Amino acid sequence: MSDVTTTRPTAADAAPLPAAALHQPRLPRWTPAALAALALAAGCGIGLGAGMDSTVQWGLIAAVLYVGLTYGLTARVEGRRQAKDRLATSLVWMCFLIAVVPLVSLIWETVARGSKVLDGGFLSHSMAGVLTIQPGGGVYHAIIGTLEQVGIATAIAAPVGLLTAIYLVEYGRGRLARAVTFFVDVMTGVPSIVAGLFILSFWIIMLDNGYSGFAGSMALAILMMPVVVRSTEEMLKLVPNELREASLALGVPKWRTILKVVLPTAIGGIATGVMLAVARVAGESAPIVLLVFGSQAINNNPFEGAQSSLPYYIYEQWAAGNDASYDRAWAAALVLIAFVMILNLVARGIARWKAPKAGR
């Protein structure tokens, strides 16, 4: 510790080392807050004075002022090293703010506009018999569609993805494993519309099946699989090899070792990965347009006939282009965000519940 603080190599004290300067002047703890307030005030002042009409510009001016002020003041009082430290800290904080601003404003906007028509009736009614220019109607048929399509897609993709990941981590050696990894990577980049076109030409045109939720599920499953494989693979790789060896050395066969030791150790992360994949496909609209066709009425059977889904519903309502349908689109967007958020919370809950415990 001491050698860090005593041998501060600046130009001034390069020649003879100063006698152990453990104490250096420090700025008071409230300095960053005070500087931030000052910079903000100055930014607003300049913005108003110069008559700029974009508040984003005011914020940018304030940010530049803050960084400059902090660096200059700290360099004067505390020295160059601390000044650089504070510079890096403020840059990290600013990047954080820049990342958070769109997120917060997105949620703010959706909640503000979506809560207008979101109520029990909206959640429990379909659009059957409602004209798009009329207020009223609801999202029930789309919720049913999303739940069924995403549920079936998960039921297809999760086991396949899980087993593929187990093969890659525990068994795969050589050319086949490399090929599988390569194609999983390629599949990660497949656009959803291409997955939709594939199922359309294969399932609906070639095999002559009608539009159905199940056709959409198959396209969603194609999109989910690589995500599940990738995340599960990473989680399985995190399981220490010592645990596998400990189990094998007890005379446990390899498949049981994987089933009873490796998977339980990684199950929290695997569940999180599957849930993230679900969240990703829950917002897909392109394959739904192609394969499920969309519908105004409730259709509980995913294997027969057209259905709707939340992202498709949002698109459809927005395309209708009048005030009542805009309101419905925002409310449906809020429902979709809530759906994804609940899934994420569930995944986190599972991860925490199943995490290896180290408590005494």
> Which residues form the interface with another protein (CB under 8 A)?
173, 240, 242-253, 256-257, 260-261, 264-265, 354, 356-360
Nearer to another protein, 130 or 243 (CB): 243
- Least Å from the CB of residue 258 to another protein: 11
First-to-last C-alpha distance (Å) of the chain:
33
Phi, psi of 142 (to 5 degrees): -75, -35
Burial of 124 (0-12, 13-18, 19+ CB in 10 A): exposed
Task: Quote the CA–CA distance of 326 and 132 in Å, as a whole number.
Answer: 10
Nearer to another protein, 53 or 242 (CB): 242
Nearer to another protein, 173 or 175 (CB): 173
| List of residues 6+ apart from 272 with CB closer than 8 A | 231, 347, 348, 350, 351
Task: Quote the CA–CA distance of 228 and 316 in Å, as a whole number.
Answer: 30
Task: Quote the CA–CA distance of 237 and 169 in Å, as a whole number.
Answer: 7
Q: Which two tokens stand for residue 135?
A: 């207020």
- Least Å from the CB of residue 118 to another protein: 41
Question: 278 to each of 122, 165, 206, 216, 343, how far by Cα in Å?
Answer: 24, 17, 28, 14, 8
Nearer to another protein, 155 or 246 (CB): 246
- Least Å from the CB of residue 245 to another protein: 7
Which residue in this structure is represented by tokens 């009542």? 324
- Least Å from the CB of residue 170 to another protein: 11
Other beta carbons within 10 Å of 60: 13
Task: Quote the CA–CA distance of 343 and 150 in Å, as a whole number.
Answer: 12
Nearer to another protein, 185 or 245 (CB): 245
Nearer to another protein, 177 or 320 (CB): 177
- Least Å from the CB of residue 250 to another protein: 4
Nearer to another protein, 12 or 358 (CB): 358
- Least Å from the CB of residue 242 to another protein: 4
- Least Å from the CB of residue 349 to another protein: 17
Q: Which candidate, 15, 70, 2, places its Cα nearest to that of 37?
A: 70
